[in-house]
């Protein structure tokens, strides 16, 4: 985990901030006992630091799949960040980037993203539930190519302080992009 200063954040300039509705895909990266009623989540394949996970559709419907990487802070195991690139059965060609942060996030501060030190920007949190807070953006070709050519992505956010205000420094989770392109090829098949 990295500690970031407020000057390390700026609004998304490339990625549209249009937030898509919660798709019902489970909070992959958390315990499989939390899988939805529709079907269990299974790991189809691993690609270096990424896993291709799929959920069986309800009543024999098509499965929904996601390329997933989950990060746990070694010093604070309650600090878990999951990153998912989701392809749903409803719109198989549309991709969604979903990041799930721990609770106690300052929602006003937004979720920041840097890829190999290039500031990609920030996205709004769409909601929080008992598992964490969600930020979602369409995973367009520009963002796909940045992930594909990068080595490390850092997702960052501010934690809410005891008084509800953000703490001075933000938290950053470095995410390996090793295996990402191979995983995306499998996701898109």
- Residues 37-81 pLDDT 10s: 456 789 999 999 999 999 887 666 777 899 999 998 888 888 889
171, 122, 167, 130 alpha-carbon torsion, rounded to 10°: -80
Does residue 1 carry a pLDDT above 90?
no
Task: List the strands of the sheet with 50-55, edge to edge.
Answer: 41-47, 50-55, 64-72, 80-87, 95-101, 132-138, 125-129
Among 183, 176, 172, residue whose Cα is nearest residue 113: 172
Q: What is the CATH number of the domain that holds 155?
A: 2.60.40.1880
- What pTM, to 2 d.p., does this model score? 0.75
Query: Is 8's pLDDT higher than 70?
Result: no
- Quick one: DSSP state of residue 163? T
Dihedral over Cα of 59, 188, 154, 70: its sign: positive
Q: How confident is the model at residue 176 (pLDDT cuts 50, 70, 90)?
A: very high
> How far apart are the C-alpha atoms of 32 and 101, rounded to whole Å?
17
Q: How many structural domains are present in the chain?
A: 1
Candidates 111, 83, 112, 117; CA nearest to 97 is 83
The whole domain housing 107 covers: 2-188
The enclosing H or E element of 180 equals: helix 180-188
């Amino acid at each position: 985990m990295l500690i970031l200063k407020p000057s390390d954040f700026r609004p998304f300039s490339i990625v549209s901030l249009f937030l898509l509705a919660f798709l019902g895909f489970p909070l992959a990266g958390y315990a499989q006992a939390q899988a939805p009623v529709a079907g269990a989540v299974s790991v189809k394949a691993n690609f270096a630091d990424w896993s291709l996970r799929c959920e069986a559709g309800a009543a024999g419907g098509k499965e929904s799949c996601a390329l997933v990487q989950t990060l746990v802070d070694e010093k604070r195991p309650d600090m878990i960040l999951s990153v998912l690139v989701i392809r749903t059965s409803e719109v198989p060609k549309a991709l969604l980037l979903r990041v799930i942060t721990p609770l106690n996030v300052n929602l006003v501060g937004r979720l920041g993203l840097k890829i190999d030190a290039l500031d990609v920007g920030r996205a709004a949190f769409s909601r929080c539930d008992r598992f964490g807070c969600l930020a979602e953006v369409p995973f367009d070709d520009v963002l796909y190519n940045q992930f594909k050519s990068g080595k490390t992505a850092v997702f960052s956010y501010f934690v809410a302080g005891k008084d509800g205000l953000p703490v001075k420094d933000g938290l950053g989770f470095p995410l390996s992009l090793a295996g990402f392109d191979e995983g995306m090829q499998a996701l898109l098949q």
